[in-house]
Structure 1
Amino acid sequence: MSRQTPISLFDSPDTWLNAPKEAFASWVVSDRFATTRRGDPQVLRDSSIKVYRAMFGKFADQVLGTTSEGRPEKSLREVGVDDIRRFLDANRLNKGIRHRYVRLLERTFDLLLGKGLVDSNPARGLAVAQPTRSGKGNDRTQWLSAEQQAAVLAALPQGEGWKDQRSRAMIATVLAGGLKVSEVIRLSLSNVGMKQEDGSVFIDVYPGGAGRWHRTRVAAFGAGMLLQWVALRKSLQLPGNLLFPAGPTGAVLHPATVYRQVKAVLAAAGVPEEQIKRRGARTLRNSFALRELEDGASPALVGEYLGHRADRSTRYYTELLPRGRGRARPTGD
């Protein structure tokens, strides 16, 4: 992502009214777009800049439009709350992406409000959590969007040391296979199956905590890293049979260690804390469940992958899906 756009553009009212995408592009690469919790300027990662520019660009294209001369048909000062609602509803965004869009538009219109370009913020108040179909809030269940999952994979530890490679494979296995912390820290080398034709790998999971024996499928995007680690683990001849040992003695990883590592990766991936408050492996497990259902896996198959004892545990995830999402595929997949 180029950072050569003059940052003075976003200070120009005329640019916001006549070339809003260019104004936003200059704002997002400046040190005035984001701040740390202490209020210090924060320069975003190139990947985050790309995502924000794409989000605002989509909004501008659909809501503002473009004349034959390349100017917006509607100016930002003419945008109302109904325009934003129609945009959000028309794109059938899941809760996480919808919330992120509203927060981005809130910040944008706050900036315009400070410049005197608008009289009010039409995005203000649209981020109120929507209830589930059962009437209960689902704030305790959080998951990553497809874009955030890709960012997490890109932010995995890249060091050459064996512990970095262990952590890289472990976090990828949780995200790609939906395991609990109590399960993943006690996996043995013998639990990992052979690589399948589609690149995935099956893992036999034995009871951890309140779980039961089950088998999960680690998707290809995580299976490759898992198998690389298995080969390295064997070549290092570390003692014991644990797949992800804590250290050279082969001891079991402490759950708190897994939490800290996942939290660090989410931060490195630029996943906002105000959006995803739960920073542990459970969020990765939830992401796995929703991704499998959206990709068409049957609830019964997803329940097996997750090791659920009761169907109602899996039905909870299906209720989080937007209507019409998720087409059942054969349970033998």
Structure 2
Amino acid sequence: MPKAQDGSAGTAELPREFATAVDDFLTALRVEAGLARTTLAAYRGDLERLLAWTAEHGRRRLAAIRDDDVIDFLGARRAAGIGEATVAHHLTVARMFFRFLVAEGELERDPTARIVSPRLRRFLPSLLSPADVEVLLAAPKGEGWRAERDRALLEVLYAAGARISEAIALRTDAIEPSLRVLRLTGKGQKTRVVPCGENARVALARWIGGGRMRLPNAAQRAEVFLSKTGRPLDRLTGWRIVKSAARAVGLPSDVSPHTLRHSFASHLIEGGADLRSVQEMLGHASIRTTEVYTHLDTEHVLAIHRLHHPRG
């Protein structure tokens, strides 16, 4: 098989040692970290691409792989037009893999240890003002089951700062209406309790006790959000509900479920919430991930100063 120069080599001839190591690594992530199946599949693809490339370039033993091999692979990906964020992700997964092998005693050294991760600009999805959020949440019109469901979903996404995957996985027994809190299950099957507010509580109550009960098999389903056939709502449909609502009220085309989550966090910071509390509500493992919202708050303060200060 000819060598691929862009790091996109196939995996048909992956050496047995490589394949076994990948399987062991992914099994450990599944059992110990509880990563989602889609995440594990993506990691497998990244690793098999790297290892197939190194094998085709003469490195057919794990111990033979050097930092230059990984650097050359990343360079080949860049040359093929792969974005810097994706290249950085390739390096992150490779680093996790080789550190695992060192910890397990399968390797003496980590070939990624001295490779410097590329510095990336951090981009956030578009943010909505509180007024625009109100417009979006009011977008579903009418009294039918679909409008009730869509209103409740939008409320959960903003009121609880939920990811779309968390919202569509929400179960009826995870709602505490008297306390106005939700139990969300996030990445790694970690559960957190998040306040949801009165508007979200009312929207959920109307949906669960009203339109939802008119759908097939609703009484047998634990999931809050269902399709017209009574099946749990899938992620793509949840995404489309948000996009459709934004389009209906003339909001930007890049509004997405994550826009509501980021707006939730930004509005909390602007309102004076402490960073640690926002981290807990978002379910971020590291507070560094949440710190980006302090920059957004600074921009907000500067904008207010420019608008209202006589020398702004």
- Structure-1-length-normalised TM-score: 0.49
Amino acid corresponding to residue 212 of structure 1 in structure 2: K
Question: Conserved in 1, the CA contact under 8 Å of 2:161 and 2:265?
Answer: yes
Which of 241, 259, 274 aligns to 1:261? It is 241
* Distance in 2 between residues matched to 1:216 and 1:271, nearest whole Å: 27
| Cα-to-partner distance string for 1:136-185 (whole Å, 9 max, x where unaligned) | 75554321012211211221x12322122111111111111110011111
- Residue 216 in 1 paired to residue 194 in 2? yes
Amino acid corresponding to residue 184 of structure 1 in structure 2: A
Other structure's SS at 1:148 match: helix
Q: 5+ unaligned residues in a row in structure 1: which ranges?
A: 1-134, 326-333
Which of 258, 281, 288 aligns to 1:282? It is 258
* Distance in 1 between residues matched to 2:121 and 2:249, nearest whole Å: 27
Query: What is residue 44 of structure 1 aligned with on the other side?
Result: none
Amino acid corresponding to residue 227 of structure 1 in structure 2: A
* Distance in 2 between residues matched to 1:194 and 1:221, nearest whole Å: 11
- Residue 300 in 1 paired to residue 276 in 2? yes
The verdict on how the C-alpha distance between 1:265 and 1:316 changes in structure 2, with shifts beyond 3 A counting, is: same
Amino acid corresponding to residue 177 of structure 1 in structure 2: A
Amino acid corresponding to residue 166 of structure 1 in structure 2: R
Amino acid corresponding to residue 280 of structure 1 in structure 2: S
Other structure's SS at 1:322 match: helix
Query: What is residue 313 of structure 1 aligned with on the other side?
Result: 289
Question: Conserved in 1, the CA contact under 8 Å of 2:284 and 2:290?
Answer: yes
Once structures 1 and 2 are overlaid, which stretch shifts more, 216-225 or 238-247? 216-225
The verdict on how the C-alpha distance between 1:262 and 1:324 changes in structure 2, with shifts beyond 3 A counting, is: closer
The verdict on how the C-alpha distance between 1:163 and 1:311 changes in structure 2, with shifts beyond 3 A counting, is: same
- Residue 243 in 1 paired to residue 221 in 2? no
Where does 1:175-214 land on structure 2 (aligned, <5 Å)? 175-196=158-179, 201-207=180-186, 209-210=187-188, 212-214=190-192
Where does 1:1-333 land on structure 2 (aligned, <5 Å)? 139-155=123-139, 157-196=140-179, 201-207=180-186, 209-210=187-188, 212-232=190-210, 235-236=213-214, 238=218, 239-249=220-230, 251-273=231-253, 277=254, 279-322=255-298
The verdict on how the C-alpha distance between 1:194 and 1:308 changes in structure 2, with shifts beyond 3 A counting, is: same
Other structure's SS at 1:195 match: coil
Other structure's SS at 2:221 match: coil
Question: Conserved in 1, the CA contact under 8 Å of 2:212 and 2:226?
Answer: no
Question: Conserved in 1, the CA contact under 8 Å of 2:144 and 2:211?
Answer: no
Question: Conserved in 1, the CA contact under 8 Å of 2:153 and 2:225?
Answer: yes
| Cα-to-partner distance string for 1:216-265 (whole Å, 9 max, x where unaligned) | 1113333321222222267547131111122343x221211111110111
Residue 322 of structure 1: how far off its partner (Å): 2.2
Question: Conserved in 2, the CA contact under 8 Å of 1:191 and 1:204?
Answer: yes
Question: Conserved in 2, the CA contact under 8 Å of 1:211 and 1:308?
Answer: no
Percent of aligned pairs with the same residue?
27
* Distance in 2 between residues matched to 1:324 and 1:169, nearest whole Å: 29
* Distance in 2 between residues matched to 1:179 and 1:324, nearest whole Å: 23
Question: Conserved in 2, the CA contact under 8 Å of 1:176 and 1:223?
Answer: no
Question: Conserved in 2, the CA contact under 8 Å of 1:170 and 1:244?
Answer: yes
* Distance in 1 between residues matched to 2:248 and 2:269, nearest whole Å: 27
* Distance in 1 between residues matched to 2:143 and 2:266, nearest whole Å: 32
Question: Conserved in 1, the CA contact under 8 Å of 2:270 and 2:300?
Answer: no
How many residues align? The count is 180
Other structure's SS at 1:214 match: strand
Amino acid corresponding to residue 172 of structure 1 in structure 2: E
* Distance in 1 between residues matched to 2:209 and 2:287, nearest whole Å: 37
| Cα-to-partner distance string for 1:25-46 (whole Å, 9 max, x where unaligned) | xxxxxxxxxxxxxxxxxxxxxx
The verdict on how the C-alpha distance between 1:228 and 1:181 changes in structure 2, with shifts beyond 3 A counting, is: same
Question: Conserved in 1, the CA contact under 8 Å of 2:159 and 2:197?
Answer: yes
* Distance in 1 between residues matched to 2:296 and 2:274, nearest whole Å: 15
- Structure-2-length-normalised TM-score: 0.53
* Distance in 2 between residues matched to 1:324 and 1:234, nearest whole Å: 40
The verdict on how the C-alpha distance between 1:151 and 1:234 changes in structure 2, with shifts beyond 3 A counting, is: closer
Residue 316 of structure 1: how far off its partner (Å): 1.4
Question: Conserved in 2, the CA contact under 8 Å of 1:151 and 1:270?
Answer: no
